[in-house]
Amino acid sequence: MLVLKNKIICNNKHLNFQCQSCPLEKLSCLSLGPTGHKNFVSLELMFNDVWGPAPLFSSYGFCYFVIFINVYIKYIWYYPLVANSDVYSVFYQFQTLVEHQFSLKIKFVQTDWGDEYQKLSTFFHTIGIHHHLICPHTYGQNSIVEHCHRHIMETRLTLL
């Protein structure tokens, strides 16, 4: 908004600028636009992200969850976690499940390079999965996953 009112000088009028106070005031931001990547096959691109820790533990001790999103069919797999380090074993189980269900291999995985995915990166390389990284804390690059997190948390709060 400050750019539009000429309070901040900006050489590029198409710059996607967002000040630090916008997230605090829960203001929406502009989208980054299409990436140019089109999916033609299921499991070609999977978005993954871990959410947590939750302020309250579940009755089974879960305080994190990981979601896997098949971008082609827009299907979400949800796995509760006790610790975010459990992502490695959960991904292995998930990979086995979906590759048997679809008779296809996962080709690309997109993550925000959180600590839990650094160990998985070498695993991805070993089995031939390309690991796409996005910038951490960039809502626009990870908007699909963030919308899913928000929906899951709103549903959880509604059911409490």
Architecture of domain 45-159: 2-Layer Sandwich (3.30)
Q: Which residues make beta-bridge pairs with 47?
A: 69, 110
Q: Please name which of 157, 158, 95 lies closest in space to residue 129, comparing C-alpha atoms.
A: 95
Instruction: Using a cut of 0.85, tell me whether the model's pTM lies above it.
Output: no
CB 106: neighbour CB atoms within 10 A? 23
CB–CB of 90/50 below 8 Å? no
Residue with tokens 């000088």, as numbered in its chain: 9
**Could you read off the pLDDT tens digit of each residue along the chain, which spans 160 residues?**
444 454 444 444 444 545 555 555 554 444 445 555 566 678 888 988 888 888 877 878 898 999 999 888 888 899 999 998 899 999 999 999 999 998 999 999 988 887 888 888 889 999 999 998 887 666 666 677 777 878 777 877 777 6
